[in-house]
């Protein structure tokens, strides 16, 4: 879950930077300039995106985005997503990553050619309901339906086994919690469930 969140934040930050008027590279202070500076931090002009030197820990000495900046990336993205892209930017990367069934296509690549899922007309238009694409809702319903059917089958099998072999009742009763143990992590790890977190308001 942490890796997934980091991946999504990185894409949102790139989308923000792809829309900003970035300063010339030569005007950005390098490590030598920062070493001479009194404050070991740099803020991207006209924004609240801040990079600061790490003073302790395994990454001491590196210049990384501050904790406050990282926590506000979804806010920055929400505010800036209506701005035009800079020339040469990768347009629509976030929407492709968040709304296209790329993860599902990767999982099913041995069964279905990925282009059949990614290039399908309904995915190019990507109808969205409650900030989630229609294909993801269909996948969630399918996964939950299959999970409930499996649990129901295990419950019925447990009762049948206990009725036919009373001496094995204790083992039969284990089927019920075991079915939940199997279904819960399977549904949690399903590629259908991943969606974009709706950001709140703030400013760049």
Range with lowest mean pLDDT among 20-24, 63-67, 79-83, 120-124 = 120-124
Based on the domain organization, do 18 and 80 belong to the same domain? yes
Binning pLDDT at 50, 70 and 90, where does residue 38 land? confident
Based on the domain organization, do 9 and 83 belong to the same domain? yes
Based on the domain organization, do 14 and 77 belong to the same domain? yes
- Partners of residue 65 on adjacent β-strands: 51
Percent of the chain at pLDDT exceeding 70: 69
Question: Residue 51: what pLDDT?
Answer: 92
d(CA 40, CA 59) in angstroms, rounded, equals: 15
Based on the domain organization, do 85 and 137 belong to the same domain? no
Q: If you average pLDDT over each of 92-106, 119-133, 157-171, which comes out highest?
A: 157-171
Rounded mean pLDDT of the chain?
A: 75
Please give the structure tokens belonging to residue 123. 């995915």
Based on the domain organization, do 71 and 6 belong to the same domain? yes
With a threshold of 0.85, does the pTM exceed it?
no
Binning pLDDT at 50, 70 and 90, where does residue 204 land? very low
Based on the domain organization, do 9 and 78 belong to the same domain? yes
Based on the domain organization, do 75 and 21 belong to the same domain? yes
Based on the domain organization, do 85 and 138 belong to the same domain? no
Tell me which of 106 and 73 has the higher pLDDT: 73
Within a domain: residue 96? no
Tell me if residue 7 falls in helix, strand or coil: helix
74-106 burial string, b = 16+ CB within 10 Å, else e? bbbbbbbeeeeeeeeeeeeebbebbbbbbbbbe
**Domain edge (last residue) among 89, 104, 123:** 89
Domain count, the chain: 2
Containing domain of residue 40, as a range?
A: 2-89
Helix axes 2-17, 73-80, angle to 10 degrees: 40
Binning pLDDT at 50, 70 and 90, where does residue 33 land? confident
Cβ partners under 8 Å of residue 131, min gap 6: 195, 196, 198
Within a domain: residue 201? no
Beta strands in the chain (DSSP E): 41-43, 50-53, 63-65, 128-129, 132-133
Based on the domain organization, do 79 and 137 belong to the same domain? no
**Domain edge (last residue) among 89, 111, 141:** 89
């Amino acid at each position: 879950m942490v890796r997934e969140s980091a991946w999504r934040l990185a894409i949102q930050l790139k989308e923000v930077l792809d829309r900003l008027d970035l300063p010339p590279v030569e005007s950005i202070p390098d490590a030598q300039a920062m070493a001479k500076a009194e404050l070991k931090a740099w803020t991207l002009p006209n924004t609240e995106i801040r990079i600061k030197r790490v003073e302790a820990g395994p990454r001491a000495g590196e210049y990384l985005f501050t904790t406050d900046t990282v926590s506000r990336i979804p806010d920055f993205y929400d505010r800036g997503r209506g701005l035009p892209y800079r020339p040469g930017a990768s347009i629509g990367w976030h929407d492709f990553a968040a709304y296209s069934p790329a993860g599902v296509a990767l999982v099913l690549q041995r069964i279905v050619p990925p282009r059949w899922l990614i290039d399908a007309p309904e995915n190019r238009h990507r109808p969205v309901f409650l900030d989630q694409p229609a294909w993801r809702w269909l996948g969630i319903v399918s996964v939950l339906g299959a999970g409930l059917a499996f649990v129901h089958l295990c419950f019925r099998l447990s009762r049948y086994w206990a009725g036919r072999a009373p001496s094995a009742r204790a083992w039969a009763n284990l089927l019920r919690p075991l079915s939940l143990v199997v279904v819960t992590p399977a549904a949690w790890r399903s590629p259908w469930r991943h969606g974009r977190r709706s950001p709140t308001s703030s400013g760049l």
